[in-house]
Amino acid sequence: MNDSERDYDYDLFVIGAGSGGVRAGRVSASYGARVAVAESAALGGTCVNVGCIPKKLFVYASHFREDFRDSTGFGWTTPEPSFDWSVLLANKDREIARLNAVYASLLSDAGVELVTGRARIVGPHTLEVAGTRHTADHILIATGGWPSLPEIPGIEHAITSNEAFHLKELPRRALIVGGGYIAVEFAGIYHGLGVETTQLYRGPLFLRGFDDDVRTAVAEEMRKKGLDIRFDSNVAAIEKVTTGLRAVLEDGSSLEADTILYATGRTPNTRGLGLEELGVEIAPGGAIVVDEFSRSSVPGIWAIGDATDRVNLTPVAIHEAMCLARTLFRGEPTKPVHRDVASAVFSQPPVGCVGLSEAEARRAYPQVDVYRSRFRALKHTLSGSSEQTMMKLVVDRASDRVVGIHMVGPDAGEIIQGFSVAMKCGATKAQLDATIGIHPTSAEEFVTMRDPV
């Protein structure tokens, strides 16, 4: 490091202590960099506080009702279960507080200075936090995203996923607006907790971007469970009435609910950081435009995670953080890889997938073979549930390489995680065929499908 770089207070100043920002700070410090991280809210960002972690805890909570019912087919007799929302909230809050403390320790133990307050870039290599100025050779924007709301009359009566984790009372009736994974997950959560739940989506089928067989299977299974899902429907206005909230739909009909939760998208959280004034290129939706190394258009300013709107997943932000630290402080220029990123939707039943959808594969390869299976899992031969699992392989015929793996069913995320390793290794259909399955499991279906559809 040369003398001019030592003139700065820090080698790296990170704005945002979410998963990506904390990882970038910790790893950079381990490489010898002087690092500070600024955060104005709870440590851990969206994922820890109002995202992945509390959401998964709520999914667990909401699925117990089904588990209790399924157990009777196996000889269990239980009294009618009751649910206490306040207990779930208190236990969730305690776990989140523990994780906040863990993140603080991770930064402290790595020698990273935590600066409390919202940072703003006020000049080249210069930031201001709570009235104090700091200088840094490199500035990293890792501020994540924020729920976006449409501009319709009465939208102030709606909540987003941010507020959904802190409701003082569980609503009796809930209306979920949106068709992405957050909307689908909260529809399952509320329904599982006994809330009368309706989900609206303006398009013909939710989970846009996922494989069509996945989307269809999830819709069918959710409706089997009693969820009221309405496609090609959208809210025109929300009114507060004596009995709660009334959503007036674009077709003139209306629905009443106690809570209306909007999950219609998220926007990069990049406003008010001083980026535009410095000349940092910002895309129309608010995302910071970066190159393959996460470098912005202004030297010394970098960005990772949801603030760049590339692949908005916590592990991707962490991967980008690791690459950035290697690039800046280890002398190993490293580009993040955004291909074949496995993901899960904790719907009920859950989704797991990696690679290309069938439609994407057909656009990418001249000839594609598709293997698909739908079946009733062994558990449900006694539980009495009609839930079906769907599993699908997409194969490039010319190379025999598996280019897409998709699943809807229990433990989909756990199963796909392992298969994503195989895909990263370039697994072929012949290699899957040569793999002996574990019986009886659902996962074995991926290595026993022989005939393309």
Per-residue CA distances from 268 to 57, 271, 307, 335 (Å): 25, 8, 5, 21
Per the CB < 8 A criterion, the answer to whether 88 and 61 are in contact is: yes
Report how far apart the first and last C-alpha atoms of the chain are (Å, whole number). Answer: 59
Cβ contacts of 81-89, under 8 Å, gap ≥ 24: 83/170, 83/193, 83/194, 85/167, 85/169, 85/170, 85/193, 88/57, 88/58, 88/61, 89/166
CB 323 within 8 A of CB 335: yes
Tell me, yes or no, if 439 is annotated catalytic: yes
Of 173, 219, 157, 23, give the one whose Cα is nearest residue 103: 23
CA-CA distance, 63 to 368, in Å (whole number)?
A: 37
Among the options 63, 166, 338, 439, which is catalytic? 439
Query: Which residues are marked as active site?
Result: 439
